[in-house]
Amino acid sequence: MSDEQVRYTLPESEIPTHWVNLLPDLPGEPTPPLNPRSMEPAGPDDLTPIFPMGLIGQEVSPEPEVEIPEPVREIYKLWRPSPLYRARRLERALDTPARIYYKYEGGSPPGSHKPNSAVAQAYENKEAGIERLVTETGAGQWGSALAMACSLMGLDCLVYMVGASYDQKPYRRSMMEAWGATVHRSPSDTTEAGRSQAEHQSGSLGIAISEAVEVAAGDAATNYSLGSVLNHVCLHQTVIGQEAMAQMAMAGDEPDVVVGCVGGGSNFAGLAFPYVRRVLRGEARTRFVACEPAACPTLTRGAYRYDFGDTVGMTPLLPMYTLGHDFVPPPVHAGGLRYHGDSPILCGLVKAGIVEPRAFAQNETFEAAVQFAREEAILPAPEPAHAIRGVVQEAEAAREAGEERVILLGLCGHGHFDLSAYDAYLGGELEDPVFSEQDMEAALARLPEAPAIA
């Protein structure tokens, strides 16, 4: 051991002033969402009942940079800039010539990257005179981020939490309540959608979305809020990658490959999109690896089609890799990766061959997470454990090729609320569910009739 730098910290003044908007740099024609009834391109009018104009403007902005409002930057200061680490111990354990860096978002109060967007969304809604936000949450990462953001912005917050998670993960619910949010077990008796699904007592993300959207659509003072997938959510997360660039410059290194996990895509987008823009502009040749669960292999095995964003088919159709809007993934512990589709921008980059997707089984991701924890001390959440598995693969490939390779990992959250999953892994009781050929055939048969993606 020697006097090696392992953590790169930026001063508060280095919090980015703008978000990076990839839309104007994307190749090909734009592929807008479709109105679910007319199948025509959806416009702002399709979104104003549940989103403020500020966010709709960000969703379709043609500007390559979008200014971050000062009050949002002010709140970012509570946990940003987030640290970048060099994983020297992991490198030694893997006996690799690769240099591994990781950008850690688990230091935010809710413990993940989610508040980067939650605060921005709460701000735009507050500015628009909205008094309350309503959202859905599965395991609770997004719900707790929005609860915190609403608390800081002076908004009420209502969260529909998937029934099974509500029963099994009471601590995420308690966290939301500590920040002042109201949490309903979904399906609830507070909405028509919930009452109509009363027989599905364990609930689903799809039902919870339906409940939240119904509440938002029916109350002018209440808007809906979504934690991933949409362009403006990916946009908000790009503070991550911009900071990482400044920190990699401090380290005197440039990533050869950027590795992140993908659920709806906002975490991956946050770290990767600022680097992707360099590639799109011919300024760099970085590779990008997107890691997902073999149990929900959207990017590796999904169909590239227009599909609904929610299970019951209320939202506009989005152009994306999809396993079918009513696909219910097996209950893997990486709850944040259990989504049938992905960010349309990210899907376009996969289609264009710029981002390479890889799928991993549950046990191999926990094996990587435990090795990471024992070398680097931080206990990762099950979601970024997928990305760590991808990093191990890259580091081993570098060793075999005898090549120095600079790997940048997005470590988007800690596993403090996921220890029952570690327990199951260490006890040898973790299953490895996979997505079968039959699952795929069934998914294709259920896709809605819609135009092909241009």
Q: Which stretches of the chain bind a copy of itself, using CB under 8 A? A: 1-7, 9-12, 70-71, 73-75, 77-79, 85, 89, 107, 109, 111, 148, 151-152, 170-171, 174-175, 177-180, 370, 373-379, 416-417, 419-420, 422-423, 426
Distance CA 45, CA 52 (A): 11
**Identity of the residue, 71 or 448, whose beta carbon is nearer to a copy of itself in the bound complex:** 71
Strand-strand pairing, 355-360 and 317-322: unpaired
Strand-strand pairing, 303-308 and 317-322: antiparallel
Tokens of 282: 């011919």
**Identity of the residue, 9 or 196, whose beta carbon is nearer to a copy of itself in the bound complex:** 9
- Residue 289: how many other CB atoms lie within 10 Å: 23
* Cis, bond preceding 187 (omega within 30 deg of 0): yes
Distance CA 57, CA 330 (A): 36
**Identity of the residue, 21 or 108, whose beta carbon is nearer to a copy of itself in the bound complex:** 108
**Identity of the residue, 152 or 332, whose beta carbon is nearer to a copy of itself in the bound complex:** 152
Strand-strand pairing, 303-308 and 222-224: unpaired
Residue 445 corresponds to which amino acid?
Answer: A
Cβ proximity of 298 and 279 under 8 Å: no
* Cis, bond preceding 81 (omega within 30 deg of 0): yes
Residue 309 CB, shortest distance to a copy of itself, in Å, is 29
If 0-12 CB within 10 Å is exposed, 13-18 middle and 19+ buried, where does residue 400 land?
Answer: exposed
**Identity of the residue, 148 or 337, whose beta carbon is nearer to a copy of itself in the bound complex:** 148
Buried b (16+ CB within 10 A) or exposed e, 309-331: bbbbebbbbbbbbbbbbbbebbe
| Rg of the chain over all Cα atoms, to the nearest angstrom | 21
Percent helix / strand / coil, the chain, rounded to 5:
40, 20, 40
Residue 76 CB, shortest distance to a copy of itself, in Å, is 10
- 3-state SS assignment for residue 398: helix
**Identity of the residue, 89 or 446, whose beta carbon is nearer to a copy of itself in the bound complex:** 89
Cβ proximity of 91 and 44 under 8 Å: no
Residue 161 CB, shortest distance to a copy of itself, in Å, is 14
**Identity of the residue, 312 or 373, whose beta carbon is nearer to a copy of itself in the bound complex:** 373
Residue 91 CB, shortest distance to a copy of itself, in Å, is 14
Q: Look at residues 300, 302, 233, 308 and name the one whose alpha carbon lies nearest to residue 266.
A: 233
**Identity of the residue, 25 or 131, whose beta carbon is nearer to a copy of itself in the bound complex:** 131
Residue 77 CB, shortest distance to a copy of itself, in Å, is 5
Residue 74 CB, shortest distance to a copy of itself, in Å, is 5
**Identity of the residue, 5 or 48, whose beta carbon is nearer to a copy of itself in the bound complex:** 5
Residue 93 CB, shortest distance to a copy of itself, in Å, is 11
Residue 172 CB, shortest distance to a copy of itself, in Å, is 8
Residue 152 CB, shortest distance to a copy of itself, in Å, is 6
